[in-house]
């Protein structure tokens, strides 16, 4: 799992959602292929997507604020920190 998942911290929230039988089969099969539990697979996948979306959003904010567009990686980490803190 992602380092940002802070695996050593106790869980502090619970999420629940419903799946169709086909969706459940797909998720279970993918988790099995990696040797992960369904919970590990879903958590890792959701966190990966969330971090990517936050990074892309922060990069867009940084890009639109600059007069001369910098490369995507320049300053994006600071922008991501700002978005997470907001």
pLDDT tens, 37-53?
Answer: 999 999 999 999 999 99
Angle at 22 between CA 18 and CA 23, to 5 degrees: 45
What pLDDT score was predicted for residue 9?
66
Does 1 fall in a domain? no
- Domain assignment present for residue 5? The answer is no
User: Are 70 and 62 contacting, i.e. CB atoms less than 8 angstroms apart?
Assistant: yes
- Count of CB atoms within 10 A of residue 16's CB? 4
**Higher per-residue confidence, 83 vs 14:** 14
The answer to whether position 15 is within a domain reads: no
Q: In this structure, is residue 4 part of a structural domain?
A: no
How far, in Å, CA of 51 to CA of 4, rounded?
9
pTM here? 0.60
Domain that holds residue 33: 21-85
Q: What is the rounded distance in angstroms from the CA atom of residue 54 to the CA atom of residue 26?
A: 26
Q: Answer yes or no: is 57 within a domain.
A: yes
Number of structural domains (the chain) is: 1
- On whether residue 10 sits in a domain, the answer given is no
Residues 66/45, Cβ–Cβ less than 8 Å: no
Give residue-wise pLDDT tens across range 59-73: 888 777 765 555 656
Q: What element of type H or E holds 76?
A: helix 76-85
13 lies in some domain: no
**In a domain? residue 37:** yes
Burial class (CB in 10 A: 0-12, 13-18, 19+), 27: middle
């Amino acid at each position: 799992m992602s380092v940002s998942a802070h695996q050593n911290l106790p869980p502090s929230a619970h999420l629940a959602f419903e799946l169709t039988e086909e969706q459940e089969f797909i998720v279970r099969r993918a988790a099995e292929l990696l040797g992960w539990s369904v919970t590990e697979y879903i958590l890792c996948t959701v966190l990966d997507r969330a971090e990517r979306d936050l990074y892309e959003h922060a990069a867009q904010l940084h890009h639109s604020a600059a007069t001369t567009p910098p490369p995507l990686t320049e300053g994006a980490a600071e922008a991501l920190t700002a978005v997470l803190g907001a």
